[in-house]
Homo-oligomer: A and B are copies of this chain.
Amino acid sequence: MSVGHTGVTTLEGPQGHEHEQDCGIREVLDRIGDKWSVLVVVELAAGVRRFRQLQRAVPGISQRMLTLTVRRLERDGLLTRSVYPTVPPQVEYELTKMGHSLHTQVRGLADWAAAHRDAVVESRRRFDRERAQSELQ
């Protein structure tokens, strides 16, 4: 894998595909299927953000993961990173047009989740209950 650069744990996201038989879905998931990307996109959809702002806006994220996440999104052309050589340094992140178009799709999923959350919860409850039943014998 040609270890040439300074070893940022790899910017390539999850990792290499191999088969490619599906549609482009695996491709998307390998991009934004990780723990934080989507949340960052959503936050940035609301407007320009600085590093700290992002970190505060996305509750559990660590500094390391925020860095990795925005770098990958930048690499994919989903956001831009603007460095202002002030003191202290200041960096602004902003969604690109493509980033916003992705956000639209993500909104779709979020809306779906909101609309079906109750049904999912109820389904799980039933499933678990019935499962508990059959375990008594």
Residue A117 at the B interface, CB < 8 A?
yes
Which residue of B has the minimal Cβ distance to A39?
B22
List B contacts of A5 (CB < 8 A): 131-132, 135
Q: In the complex, which of the residues B22, B28, B74, B123 contacts A112, with contact meaning CB atoms closer than 8 Å? A: B28
Q: For the complex, count residues of A whose C-beta is within 8 A of B.
A: 51
Fill in one digit per residue for A78-113: 1 if any B CB lies within 8 Å of its CB, else 0: 000000000000000000001001100110111011
What number of copies of this chain does the assembly contain?
2
Residues of A within 8 A of B (CB): 4-6, 18-19, 21-29, 31, 33-35, 38-39, 42, 58-60, 74-77, 98, 101-102, 105-106, 108-110, 112-114, 116-117, 119-120, 122-124, 127-128, 131-132, 135
Given A19-B60, A23-B42, A77-B124, output 18 extra A-B contacts at Cβ < 8 Å.
Answer: A4-B132, A5-B131, A6-B135, A22-B58, A24-B114, A24-B117, A25-B38, A25-B42, A25-B106, A25-B109, A27-B117, A28-B109, A31-B120, A75-B123, A76-B123, A77-B127, A102-B112, A105-B108
